[in-house]
C-alpha cells in the first residue's frame, strides 16, 4: 500500500489536535478520525502514528501544521475541521474562535 505525502498526513494529525480543542474528544470525532484509513492510503507506520496521536492527544499543532506545505492541503484541513467540529452536534464557542482567527 502506498503512503500519502507527509503534508497530507499532517492534515490528519492536525485534525486530532482540533478534535480536542474544546476539551472534549467525543466518540463521533474519534470514530471519524479512526476511520481515515478507509479513505486514505496510509502506510502501516502512518496508521500507528495516527493511533498514537488519537490515544495521547499530546501534540504541538504548530510543528505539525508547518509540515503542510501545499495550499490545497491547508484548505482541505479547514474543510475537514469544519466537519469535525460538527460531529458532536455542538459547534461551541471555542471551536467558533478557530474560524474567527
Integer-rounded Cα radius of gyration of the chain: 13
Contacts of 74 (CB under 8 A, 6+ apart): 68
Is the predicted pLDDT of residue 35 greater than 80, yes or no?
A: no
pLDDT band at 98 (very low <50, low <70, confident <90, very high): low
Q: Where are the domains of the chain?
A: 6-100
How high is the mean pLDDT of the chain?
A: 82
* CA 51/CA 98 separation, integer angstroms: 24
pLDDT band at 18 (very low <50, low <70, confident <90, very high): confident
Amino acid at each position: 500500500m502506498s503512503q500519502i505525502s507527509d503534508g497530507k498526513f499532517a492534515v490528519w494529525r492536525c485534525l486530532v489536535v482540533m478534535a480536542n480543542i474544546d476539551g472534549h474528544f467525543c466518540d463521533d470525532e474519534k470514530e471519524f478520525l479512526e476511520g481515515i484509513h478507509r479513505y486514505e492510503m496510509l502506510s502501516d507506520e502512518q496508521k500507528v502514528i495516527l493511533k498514537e496521536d488519537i490515544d495521547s492527544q499530546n501534540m504541538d499543532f504548530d510543528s505539525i501544521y508547518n509540515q503542510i506545505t501545499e495550499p490545497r492541503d491547508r484548505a482541505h484541513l479547514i474543510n475537514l475541521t469544519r466537519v469535525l467540529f460538527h460531529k458532536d452536534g455542538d459547534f461551541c464557542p471555542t471551536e467558533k474562535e478557530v474560524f474567527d482567527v
